Chain A
């Protein structure tokens, strides 16, 4: 138990933060943090040592968050795969972001919590957590191009939420990108 408590002290912050960003709720993040560490305790036999322990725990956390988002969406009557369900949400306008000042943290956190789950997952993992697209794709079980597309749409939706304009007028929708090609895109740095 002492060793496991040390494990918790070392890794709970990272697990909690990704859960908090993904769910937008401190209470849900607390519950997920608890679930992840109980799951880790029960499933420790399955840890093969192929990845660092922190990485293994982080993966458990991301999977728990995705399950949470899916079930939450299911309760709202949207039973389709949440990754595909990305259209049709009305943005909540927040006119407080003015061009002459930096983006307010609370405004951004509020806007992130209002993103559709698939957008939120891609945005949190890439822009907040700093993962590469191939890592995001692996965690979400999607193609790398889909990850890029979801991220771009998430940013446009955030911009609309923060600027107060309709979401679909924040910019033209991005086509799914698939690395370097004739369009001049390179692999991620």
Chain B
């Protein structure tokens, strides 16, 4: 086959299109024009044949399998890294928190069901209907509601205590300025929790006070969770991830 440079102007113009012909990227008019040229030009026809063969052969190249030792090397490195990996630690904390959150959610849900009719001041028909399921005046029911609230509060506190331990153990990974801001925000939430508790003490049936308390507890859990996530990414040296989390904390 002749591989000399095409010498005619037509060849100069057509040659770049040969690759497009091989890839079936020409419209009908361009294809017919090029094929007409190829019919009379051995050099360009040879180029097209060769490029087709290269493309066909490339697609037909056999695949290869990696050596089995590669996985052994990977597994060895993963095993060596495992004790120091923060993710395993974090996963454990997340699982514990998830369990605590489910407990809290179930308790709070039952409290809402029990407490709703008793605290409702508006004679809304559906609420009254629901109230018939639980006798609002029965002392046992009131006792149950208070008990459920106490359990919900206790579960939040348990989750918060666990998270606070994690943060206390690892907060050195945080930038001091960031840690100070988080501490300040935590102080604001703690103040809200204290005020809500005080309101509940003076007005035990206040739905607003109870809602405020559980909102504040939820915020504390969320802030602690975000703080641990931030510690986690900063340990990894993931500056972009840290910036993203800090941005999210700023918005919350």
Nearest-neighbour CB distance to chain B for A1, whole angstroms, equals 7
Q: Which residues of the other chain, B, contact A123 by a CB distance below 8 angstroms?
A: 58
A183 to B69, CA, bound (A): 52
The answer to whether the Cβ of A23 comes within 8 Å of any Cβ in the partner chain is: no
Query: Are A12 and B16 closer than 8 Å at their CB atoms?
Result: no
The answer to whether the Cβ of A29 comes within 8 Å of any Cβ in the partner chain is: yes
A160 to B16, CA, bound (A): 16
Q: How many of chain B's residues touch chain A, expressed as a range?
A: 35 or more
Q: Which residues of the other chain, A, contact B70 by a CB distance below 8 angstroms?
A: 12, 16, 30, 33-34
The answer to whether the Cβ of A88 comes within 8 Å of any Cβ in the partner chain is: no
A20 to B65, CA, bound (A): 10
Known contacts A4-B78, A159-B51, A169-B3: A127-B58 contact under CB 8 Å: yes
Nearest-neighbour CB distance to chain B for A179, whole angstroms, equals 9
Q: Per a CB cutoff under 8 Å, which of A29, A34, A102, A186 touches B74?
A: A34
Looking across the interface, which residue of chain B has its beta carbon closest to that of A8? B71
Q: Which residues of the other chain, A, contact B65 by a CB distance below 8 angstroms?
A: 13, 16
> What per-residue 1/0 map shows which CB atoms of A1-38 lie under 8 Å from chain B?
10011001000110011001100001001100110011
Nearest-neighbour CB distance to chain B for A26, whole angstroms, equals 8
Q: Which residues of the other chain, B, contact A17 by a CB distance below 8 angstroms?
A: 63-64
Query: Are A16 and B47 closer than 8 Å at their CB atoms?
Result: no
Interface size on A, residues (CB 8 A): 58
Within 8 A of A (CB), among B43-67: 46-47, 50-51, 53-55, 57-67
> A residues near B, CB below 8 A?
1, 4-5, 8, 12-13, 16-17, 20-21, 26, 29-30, 33-34, 37-38, 41-42, 45-46, 99, 102-103, 105, 108-109, 112, 123, 127-128, 130, 148, 151-152, 155, 158-160, 162-163, 165, 169-175, 177, 180, 183-189
> B residues near A, CB below 8 A?
1, 3-6, 11-12, 15-20, 23-27, 29-31, 33, 46-47, 50-51, 53-55, 57-67, 69-71, 73-75, 77-79, 87, 236, 241
